[in-house]
Copies of this chain bind each other. A is one copy, B any other.
Amino acid sequence: MTSQSVLQGLAQPADTRLVLLVLDGLGGLAQQPNGLTELEAARTPNMDLLAAEGQTGLSQAIGPGITPGSGPGHLALFGYDPVSSNIGRGALSALGLGVELNDGDVAVRLNFCTVDDKGRVVDRRAGRIDSSLNSSLISKLNAIDLPGIELQFITESQHRAVLVMRGSGLDPRITETDPQRLDVFPVDPEPIHPEAQRTSDVLKGVLAAVRECIGGESPANFVLMRGYAGRPVFQGIDQLYGLNPLCIATYPMYKGLARAVGMDVAEGLDTISAEVAELSAQWNSYDYFFLHVKSPDARGEDGDFDGKVAAIEEVDAKVPDILQLRPDVFVLTGDHSTPAVLRQHSWHPSPFLIRGEWVRPDRTEAFGERDCDTGALGVFPAQSIMAMMLGHGGRLAKFGA
């Protein structure tokens, strides 16, 4: 894998436009032996033509057998090492909820839990309470007022919530309070690093206030804290490669990830049509476009094979609108697979195609998992997609003389 610093050293300007179209959860599995996957079953004449004109393969975010979360899955697509660049869970949760983190903020994942009258944990998830109960508890917690620190509690779902702290001198290097077992006291939030002493003191104050605020509730009468994380600090793809990048997505998490890697973010979009219209409207203002489509993953997680087929076909119908903008490099892939038969992210690599004037076509004639199996690129690390796009876009100088 070529390192980002080598790529950065080779980056050069060019008047070319690059489009990364991510169909979230694109890859799939057949419903029965000898059957077709969702993508193979979908009628995708436009994607098939792109596969025939371009080059195919299968992109893999982390490694064989490993199921990527959305964070690392996308970081790989943007050219980052998804293992070393993994974003702290608190920060990712905050991004996923659309909460923007500033430098110096610390985000914390909370689990509502049940403690007994002595304060020992008897249910680490408070019986997986309803999201509506979660919301009403969060309303109460948001009344907590501590001097010198701004607190924002946000419902995630069921027993899960997020706390974002804003104030001076915060540091996420703190022990997690979840004891990971029952009938013991929560761990105190102690500093792992001397610079986190103030944060430890603040968190102890927060926990005392939480106990006072919801200690009489049932079943959720306390919280456990995990995944402390500051704002993810990456050198953005704008700085690394001189790109002027725009994210076009409908879901908060993907916008948050894009912001974290230096992209501008289009707002207020909620359909694929709106996303493609935005791409067209912004075509002359940017040179790298991350276009994210959520529906294949959502239908996969629903276990809705036909719905995922339809979601893919809906995107296929929009491909001509993208192509008429004449992108110099066009990539279509997924961040991970979400087979409807598994109803969740999976470890299978993602069908990939790249098409551009200088892409050397392989013999693949259609876009599907088994077509991509025999494509020129084989199974390859998603992290190298950025270099491919830059290279085919004339944006990398020669290495060495």
Contact = CB atoms under 8 A, between A and B. Distances in A.
Given A363-B370, A401-B70, A65 B375 contact: no
B363 A346 contact: no
A348 interface: yes
A299 to B, nearest CB: 18
Contact of A360 (B29, B67, B70, B93): B29
Interface string A325-357: 000000000000000001001111000000000
Contacts of A41: none
A70 B398 CA distance: 10
B69 A400 contact: yes
A292 to B, nearest CB: 16
B33 A53 contact: yes
Interface in A24-81: 27, 29-30, 33, 37, 53, 58, 62-73
B29 A387 contact: no
Given A360-B348, A360-B369, A69 B377 contact: no
Contacts of A400: 68-73, 82, 86-87, 92
Given A82-B400, A398-B345, A401-B93, A376 B373 contact: yes
A97 B373 CA distance: 43
A379 B376 contact: yes
Contacts of A348: 358, 360
B384 A64 contact: yes
A69 B2 contact: no
Interface residues of A, number: 66
Interface stretch (A171-179, A216-224, A272-280, A389-397): A389-397
B401 A347 contact: no
Given A69-B401, A376-B379, A396-B347, A358 B64 contact: no
A100 to B, nearest CB: 18
A363 B389 CA distance: 29
Given A348-B360, A370-B363, A401-B89, A62 B376 contact: no
The residue among A62, A63, A66, A345 with the most chain B CB atoms within 10 A of its own CB is A66
A345 to B, nearest CB: 6
Contacts of A387: 63-66
A308 to B, nearest CB: 15
A342 B93 CA distance: 46
A281 interface: no
The residue among A62, A379, A396, A401 with the most chain B CB atoms within 10 A of its own CB is A401
Contact of A64 (B2, B10, B63): B2
B10 A66 contact: yes
Interface string A357-391: 01011110000011001111111100010011111
Interface of A: 1-3, 6-7, 10, 27, 29-30, 33, 37, 53, 58, 62-73, 82-83, 86-87, 89, 92-93, 96, 342, 345-348, 358, 360-363, 369-370, 373-380, 384, 387-392, 396-401
State the 8 A-B residue pairs at the shortest beta-carbon distance, nearest first: A65-B391, A2-B63, A69-B400, A65-B387, A72-B400, A373-B376, A378-B378, A347-B391
